[in-house]
Amino acid sequence: MTGVSKKERIAQRLAKELQDGYYVNLGIGIPTLVANYIPDGMDIVLQSENGLLGIGPYPLEKDMDPDLINAGKETISTLPGSVFFNSAESFAMIRGGHVDASFLGAMEVSENGDIANYMIPGKMVKGMGGAMDLVAGSENVIVAMMHTSRDGKSKVLKECSLPLTGLKCVKKIVSDMGVMEVTPNGLVLLETAEGFTIDDVVNATEAKITVSENCLVGTY
Amino acid sequence: MTGVSKKERIAQRLAKELQDGYYVNLGIGIPTLVANYIPDGMDIVLQSENGLLGIGPYPLEKDMDPDLINAGKETISTLPGSVFFNSAESFAMIRGGHVDASFLGAMEVSENGDIANYMIPGKMVKGMGGAMDLVAGSENVIVAMMHTSRDGKSKVLKECSLPLTGLKCVKKIVSDMGVMEVTPNGLVLLETAEGFTIDDVVNATEAKITVSENCLVGTY
Amino acid sequence: MAKILASSKDAMAHVKSGMTLMVGGFGVCGLPENLVHALAETNVKDITLISNNGSVDNWGNGKLIANKQIVKLFASYIGENSELAEQFISGQIDVELVPQGTLAERIRAGGAGIPAFFTPTGFGTKVAEGKEARNINGKDCILEEALLADVSFVKAHKADKLGNLVFNKTAQNFNPLMATAGKITIVEVEEIVENGELDPDEIHLPSIYVNYIVKGEQYDRRIEKRTYSSATS
Amino acid sequence: MAKILASSKDAMAHVKSGMTLMVGGFGVCGLPENLVHALAETNVKDITLISNNGSVDNWGNGKLIANKQIVKLFASYIGENSELAEQFISGQIDVELVPQGTLAERIRAGGAGIPAFFTPTGFGTKVAEGKEARNINGKDCILEEALLADVSFVKAHKADKLGNLVFNKTAQNFNPLMATAGKITIVEVEEIVENGELDPDEIHLPSIYVNYIVKGEQYDRRIEKRTYSSATS
């Protein structure tokens, strides 16, 4: 953990979910950091839902182009083989299941894979952007999140309390405490992060959680 | 009529339905001939449903390109400002009502504007191609046809006997005998072709037909 | 065929109070800024605006919102605009949040003559409220209707004189879709070229959808988030 | 990312009897002839073919039909092929005639994750038989379902090594749509170029849809109707 923030550790662990040749959509926040941890020699193409396949690194200051941004509205660059397209084409790709994996943040996830990440009624209403399409379209939705709220309440729940972004769509959760898979029998704990025992994760989780026979401790 | 075939006369009369700035789809057969009669100084863009806006004339023999054809599968050319696109885009244009007029042939038309032009059960089954989309999508469907069959039977009917291409979609009929408008009160005869009296047309028509007060005789 | 207008101001003759207006762009990127800012100078009001974002405070759509010219907004994301948030919370503006892909597809459907379609996006969420739900070949879906506009404002990179358009990079986004769904489509461009100068295989939007073109008077080249790396890294 | 195959014959490992196959092209124009002719050399049968045309006698799809490899055909037009007409009339092949625009849209819908859509095309005709009809905002429509394929054969002009495609003129037609709707999409091209050689604003189909690329062994440059004008006219 020395010198690496919780968010970066989550991003490093998320990167292990990548497979060579994947087309991936990285959501705003922690998932965006995954781009820094793509294993050497692995070919990954990043999709940006505002109309780009093949996101490159941030440009040099002198090369910033207002017409070249990612879905987080940051200036970016292209790579050899990048492609631009309109928003209908972009979501045809997403909704049609062509994006191999979608990593996104969440406020809450339930034990059956429901996700809430776009509004807190009466408090925060920013809109779902492309999140509802991403969770409905991808076979491989992986959530990056903090396991508990600032006041220690579990964000991995029996049922989400916030308005849903999607139903039964999350396949895996990578939190600052552990990695959980969503199975037909509920959540299964696969790994814990450094500094957390299996009991730590189970006790911090409101949802029913089963511990895998092969559960690893302190893997990231 | 000297030296001009019936088909060419129909095409010449059809050309009078064009307005400056129109985007038009010309069906196979008589409508294709309309391209030869576009009035000088009138800007018309021809749409080809296989994926081209801006059909040019037939190319020189040495310039024939197997990758450049019209919907009738004839080699053609482009013009400055021509555009290529895929079949979904092409029919988005057609179905979305963006093509100002669609001229097509017919085997039968009924007095309420139904059209049949794609099959004769047990005899001829070639398929509808793009015809069903063209008649459903265009606000301005104009039919070019021979008024009667070879054995003298009316092809302008109370009800079509052949499988329909579209319901209540024809706006105007230009036949070798006359020009008829489809109105909420049935067919109205607007003009007759050279050599035909009003009675000739009425008698050759099975459908109920009203003669316009301003019906012109022998206009084309 | 498109008509070329002398100024963005001239284009405003086509926009009337009470109309539905589509405005292209993703945040400030590819937003038809000259047209939107010209509209902000008019007395046109009671506009229903369809645009992916509320845009930023007092620029782009944000100007129209600050002027209270907008009564209803369809958008997928309304962050980054405090004035909009305030009007929304106080009930001065009606906002329908539409998932971004559904928004894009509803606009495409409008232009393509598809009155409605089933989509899995939003099934079981607030977005599904009041909509028909159906399981089709194992997928839970909801029925979404096409969107059309009285007028669409579009930003393209170049147009030829017929009105064929090419877009630049991610400034394309919703622009070509909205061009197809406007009864009247007005396009602002950085450059107008002769017919034939654009390669027919490389045109993004055919002229058939374009009614008016205007060369944009001024481009801010605005960036929402300036992210860059140092030359040495 | 796409894999580059050594030959059209190698691509046939992915096609099995009983599969649904999409084949791009409009008549012979833009038809993936090397792939189709390689399939005609195999024992694969009981194929459901989705292609705009039956193609001509004994060339392209016509070869597959002559070989009796096709049990069912979805097409908008089946003229120009006497063998097909014969098999159709004698009941040896099942043909579903689909309006050309509905065919294109059903294939696009398949690729885009839209399970079904309403369209006015075909309302009140034989095409509407057995389908839900509904009036939506004043338009009589029918419900059409998406089409998908186990394998799509596509012809493009050029591919880069990732599998991004550009098409040439009207040889584009159904090809990019079918590329999106194949579980496995195999593309034959005239030329394979390095990544970065295609302008990112001018690519017609992104590599995300492409599984395999092969450089076509031989192109007939066949024309169905040779129409031309004389130099002096």
Q: For D32-60, what is each residue's pLDDT tens digit?
A: 999 999 999 999 999 999 999 987 888 99
3-state secondary structure of B114: coil
Mean pLDDT, rounded, of chain A: 95
Cα B146 from Cα B105, distance rounded (Å): 9
Report, as residue numbers or ranges, the catalytic residues of B: 49
Query: What subunits make at least 3 CB pairs under 8 angstroms with C?
Result: A, B, D
Let me know the angle formed at the C-alpha of B98 by B97 and B100, rounded to the nearest 5 degrees. 90
C113 in B contact zone (CB under 8 Å):
yes
Contact call for residues C121 and A133 (beta carbons, < 8 A): yes
Contact call for residues B46 and B93 (beta carbons, < 8 A): no
Are C208 and B82 a contacting pair at CB < 8 A? no
Nearest residue in chain D measured CA to CA from B86 = D173
In chain D, residues with a C-beta closer than 8 Å to the C-beta of C119 are: 113-115
Are D169 and B84 a contacting pair at CB < 8 A? yes
Contact call for residues D75 and B130 (beta carbons, < 8 A): no
D144 in A contact zone (CB under 8 Å):
no
Specify the pLDDT at position D119.
Answer: 98
CATH number of A6-30+88-216: 3.40.1080.10
DSSP letters, D49-60, are EE-SB--STTST
Q: How do residues B109-118 score in pLDDT, each as one tens digit?
A: 999 999 999 9
Count CB atoms within 10 A of the CB of residue B154: 15
3-state secondary structure of D140: strand
Categorize the per-residue pLDDT at A3 as very low, low, confident or very high, splitting at 50, 70 and 90. Answer: low
Residues 189-218 of C with CB under 8 A from A: 204
Specify the pLDDT at position C80.
Answer: 80
Q: How do residues D68-80 score in pLDDT, each as one tens digit?
A: 999 999 999 998 8
Count CB atoms within 10 A of the CB of residue C40: 19
Please list the ranges in chain D whose pLDDT falls under 70: 231-233
Contact call for residues B88 and D112 (beta carbons, < 8 A): no
Specify the pLDDT at position C93.
Answer: 95
Q: How do residues D15-37 score in pLDDT, each as one tens digit?
A: 999 999 999 999 999 999 999 99
Tokens representing B156 are 């302008």
Nearest residue in chain C measured CA to CA from D199 = C202
Are C124 and A95 a contacting pair at CB < 8 A? no
As a whole number of Å, the end-to-end CA separation of chain C is 50
Chains C and A in direct contact, meaning 3 or more beta-carbon pairs closer than 8 angstroms = yes
Cα D80 from Cα D126, distance rounded (Å): 22
Categorize the per-residue pLDDT at B123 as very low, low, confident or very high, splitting at 50, 70 and 90. Answer: confident
Tokens representing C152 are 């669409």
Q: Does residue A1 have a pLDDT over 50?
A: no
Specify the pLDDT at position C232.
Answer: 56
D71 in A contact zone (CB under 8 Å):
no
Cα A102 from Cα A94, distance rounded (Å): 9
Report, as residue numbers or ranges, the catalytic residues of A: 49
Dihedral angle sign, alpha carbons of residues D24, D27, D30, D36: positive
Question: Testing the interface with B: which of C4, C147, C158, C162 to mutate, by most B Cβ within 10 A?
Answer: C162
Specify the pLDDT at position D81.
Answer: 86
CATH number of D3-111+145-215: 3.40.1080.10
When CB atoms are compared, the residue of D110, D111, D195 closest to A80 is D195
Are B90 and D101 a contacting pair at CB < 8 A? yes
Residue spans per domain, chain C: 3-111+145-215
Q: How do residues C176-192 score in pLDDT, each as one tens digit?
A: 999 999 999 999 999 99
Report the 3 state secondary structure along chain A. Answer: CCCCCHHHHHHHHHHCCCCCCCEEEECCCHHHHHHHHCCCCCCCEEEECCCEEEEECCCEHHHCCCCCECCCCEECEEEEEEEECCHHHHHHHHHCCCCCEEEEECCEEECCCCEECCEECCCEECCCCCHHHHHHHCCCEEEEECCECCCCCECEECCCCCCCCECCCEEEEEECCEEEEEECCEEEEEEECCCCCHHHHHHCCCCCEEEEEEEECCCC
Indicate the length of chain D as a whole number: 233
Distance from CA of C14 to the nearest CA of D (A): 25
Specify the pLDDT at position C54.
Answer: 86
Closest listed residue to residue B104, CA positions, set B179, B161, B26: B26
DSSP letters, D142-190, are EEEE---EEEEEEEEEEEETT--EE--GGG-TTHHHHHHHEEEEEEEEE
Question: Testing the interface with C: which of D140, D201, D204, D205 to mutate, by most C Cβ within 10 A?
Answer: D201
Tokens representing A174 are 């990578």
- Look up residue C107 and give its amino acid: I
Contact call for residues A93 and A100 (beta carbons, < 8 A): no
Nearest residue in chain C measured CA to CA from D171 = C201
Specify the pLDDT at position C199.
Answer: 97
Count CB atoms within 10 A of the CB of residue C186: 26
Please list the ranges in chain C whose pLDDT falls under 50: 233
Are B92 and C111 a contacting pair at CB < 8 A? yes
Contact call for residues C221 and C168 (beta carbons, < 8 A): no
Residue spans per domain, chain B: 6-30+88-216
Residues 160-189 of D with CB under 8 A from A: 160-162, 164, 180
ipTM over 0.95: yes
Chains A and B in direct contact, meaning 3 or more beta-carbon pairs closer than 8 angstroms = no
Q: Does residue B220 have a pLDDT over 50?
A: yes
Specify the pLDDT at position B121.
Answer: 87
Distance from CA of A25 to the nearest CA of C (A): 14
Specify the pLDDT at position C231.
Answer: 65
Specify the pLDDT at position A121.
Answer: 87
When CB atoms are compared, the residue of C108, C114, C207 closest to B81 is C207
